[in-house]
């Protein structure tokens, strides 16, 4: 066992660490030509395993993030080797950093291709927020958040719409953002609100037990981008509070053309959609049988068949 393996195992933990020299690079990625003189920021993301399950001979880091003046390079562990993906800053259209307790996700949306997703332990949200700030600083400079809001339709609402236990976290996040970046101005907000049930009696009963709620959101603009604070799920079910927090930062490109990713459609939960689909299938089958001339086994208004009482066997005893 080498000294480097022992040092890497000793420093291993659930947190995302800065890498400032060659000695701090995980052994899996040491053959990559990394120039620290040109790098703005280098981070190593650990594997999602408990320390008791790790040993010095393992590759303990899932990713190595290298940010320079032109692009972000991500080295991702894949078995005993790694893959490389480079995202130019000019192709970046949105940065989404979400945390749900210890489940952290940083997603970089690009104008072409699949988004780049990096999972991390939520205890390192401060480090990943610093990464998002560096990416915003290095992206094209001629951009205005008001252009994104204007192209999507100006939002309405005031910060006072955030009220109640469900929205306290978003309200605190907005105040923290406004204090950290004084140039950010409020463009619109809406609080959490219940959605009316769709369907018949069964759907309404299910909605009473697991109500569908549109979660809150806040939109702010600044000279260098647009900020959207929202929950990880836009439509939530159940009576528990969604504790996720998603600072979503669309970055308009320098050419002025808005290419921000399309937001997910606000759809009802799957169990609502499946129940409605089954009901529509039953109606279609009944119509096909009626068109073919089959008699309806249960005409409308016919009495419902009931079970006979246990003592009734079809005859009487005198």
At 279-297, the pLDDT tens digits run 778 888 888 777 777 655 5
**Model confidence over 223-278: pLDDT tens digits?**
777 888 888 877 777 655 555 656 656 655 444 444 444 444 444 555 556 667 77
Task: For residue 3, name the pLDDT band (cuts at 50, 70, 90).
Answer: low
* 225-230: strand order across its sheet: 116-121, 103-110, 92-100, 246-250, 225-230, 217-222, 185-190
How far is residue 305's CA from residue 100's CA, in Å, rounded to a whole number? 51
The residues, any chain, with a CB within 8 Å of residue 249's CB and separated by 6 or more, are 94, 95, 96, 132, 136, 225, 226, 227, 228
- How remote is the C-alpha of 261 from its chain's centroid? 13
Region class of 256: left (phi > 0), else alpha (psi between -120 and 50), else beta? left
**CA 289, 202, 296: angle at the middle one, nearest 5?**
20
Closest by alpha carbon to 232, among 243, 220, 221?
A: 243
pTM of the entire predicted model:
0.66
Task: Report pLDDT digits (tens) over 46-93.
Answer: 988 888 888 888 888 999 999 998 999 999 999 889 999 999 988 888
In this predicted model, what pLDDT tens digit does every residue of 20-50 receive, in sequence order?
A: 988 889 989 999 999 999 999 999 999 888 8
Calpha distance 66→45 (Å, rounded) = 11
Using the predicted structure, report yes or no on whether residue 114 has a pLDDT greater than 80.
yes
Over the chain, what is the mean pLDDT? 76
What pLDDT does residue 77 have? 92
pLDDT of residue 263: 45
Residue 257 is predicted with a pLDDT of: 46
Decide: helix, strand or coil at residue 146.
helix
């Amino acid at each position: 066992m080498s000294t480097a393996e022992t040092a890497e195992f000793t420093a291993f933990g659930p947190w995302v660490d800065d890498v400032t020299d060659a000695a701090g690079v995980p052994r899996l990625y040491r053959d990559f030509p990394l120039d620290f003189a040109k790098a703005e920021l280098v981070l190593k993301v650990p594997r999602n395993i408990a320390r008791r399950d790790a040993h010095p001979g393992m590759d303990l880091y899932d990713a190595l993030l290298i940010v320079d003046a032109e692009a972000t390079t991500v080295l991702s562990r894949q078995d005993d080797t790694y893959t490389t993906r480079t995202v130019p800053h000019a192709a970046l259209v949105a940065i989404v950093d979400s945390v749900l307790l210890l489940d952290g996700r940083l997603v970089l949306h690009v104008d072409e291709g699949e988004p780049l997703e990096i999972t991390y332990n939520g205890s390192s949200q401060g480090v990943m927020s610093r990464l998002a700030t560096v990416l915003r600083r290095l992206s094209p400079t001629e951009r205005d958040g008001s252009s994104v809001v204007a192209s999507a339709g100006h939002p309405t609402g005031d910060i006072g719409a955030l009220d109640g236990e469900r929205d306290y976290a978003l309200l605190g996040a907005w105040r923290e953002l406004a204090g950290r970046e004084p140039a950010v101005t409020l463009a619109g907000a809406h609080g959490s609100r219940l959605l009316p049930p769709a369907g018949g009696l069964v759907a309404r009963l299910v909605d009473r037990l697991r109500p569908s709620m549109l979660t809150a959101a806040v939109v702010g603009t600044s000279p260098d981008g647009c900020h959207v604070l929202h929950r990880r799920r836009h439509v939530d079910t159940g009576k528990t509070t969604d504790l996720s927090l998603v600072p979503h930062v669309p970055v308009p490109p320098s050419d002025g053309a808005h290419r921000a990713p399309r937001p997910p459609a606000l759809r009802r939960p799957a169990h609502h959609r499946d129940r409605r689909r089954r009901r529509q299938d039953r109606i279609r089958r009944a119509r096909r049988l009626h068109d073919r001339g089959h008699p309806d086994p249960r005409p409308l208004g016919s009495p419902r068949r009931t079970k006979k009482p246990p003592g009734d066997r079809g005859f009487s005893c005198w």
